[in-house]
A = this chain, B = another copy of it.
Amino acid sequence: MKYSNQTRLLVAVDCVIFGFDGADYKLLLIQRGFAPEKEKWSLMGGFIQPSESADEAASRILEQLTGLKEVYMEQIQAFSTPERDPIERVIALPYVALIDIEKYKTQINDDFHARWYNIKSLPNMIFDHKEMVELALNKLRYKAAFHPILFELLPEKFTLPQLQAMYEGLYDTKIDKRNFTRKVLSTNLLKKENEKDKSSSKKGAYYYSLDEEHYKENFTNIHNFIPRNEIPVGNE
């Protein structure tokens, strides 16, 4: 038994995969292997299969490209205009994924000719993928203003200067070091390690790591790492 006289459509998920390399935000793009727009740059995506939910499809597709499982992903608004794909109508469910850029470097799947692009100089992309990236970035800026999601971009151990650079990069602003440190440490989300990162200064900066338990418990709480006047006007 089926619903009759209704049109069925292709439904795809597209992964907007962000990384942070210590200085810049990067987006992982692939070179599309098939027509139309063969060899143009594209988000990694795929059609939802009969056996899987959208979340499962997104995880599958992310793993296919990066080898990574259990990645922080979040669905954003569907893209659904009838003509967005010239071949055939496809409803796209975009997912924002935040990964530790180092974890991907080890596992390059050459099948897709993937490449990290600086988000400030993105290539032309197929269809409406650029819009998806813009929406994803707005969402990320909005959400990161209140929730500590950016930690997903960092390796297990990181320094406060790295953390601050990550926030400064996302909002393209300078934040006062003393105020930033105070706010971050007051959340008790971080544990100080007895080890320094000497790679970027003579003095060296202490490593910190996430207090995983506290992090999970307080993930959905409202935090405020960035100054009031840098909080973006909200797209969500």
- The chain A residues found within 8 Å of chain B, CB to CB, are 1-3, 6-11, 47-55, 75, 77-78, 80-82, 87-91, 93, 143, 146-147, 220-222, 231, 233-236
Contact = CB atoms under 8 A, between A and B. Distances in A.
A11 B6 CA distance: 10
A9 B11 contact: yes
A173 to B, nearest CB: 16
25 contacts: A1-B87, A3-B10, A3-B87, A7-B48, A7-B49, A7-B50, A8-B9, A8-B10, A9-B9, A9-B11, A11-B80, A48-B80, A52-B82, A53-B80, A53-B81, A53-B82, A54-B78, A55-B80, A78-B78, A80-B93, A91-B91, A220-B233, A221-B233, A222-B231, A222-B233
B7 A82 contact: no
Given A10-B6, A10-B8, A77 B75 contact: yes
Contacts of A2: 87-88
Contact of A51 (B1, B11, B48, B82): B82
A6 B89 CA distance: 12
Nearest to A6: B47
Contacts of A77: 75
A82 B51 CA distance: 6
A10 B3 CA distance: 9
Nearest to A80: B54
B11 A47 contact: no
Contacts of A88: 1-3
Given A220-B235, A222-B234, A231-B222, A91 B54 contact: yes
Contacts of A236: 143, 236
A91 B233 contact: no
A75 B80 CA distance: 12
A52 B147 CA distance: 35
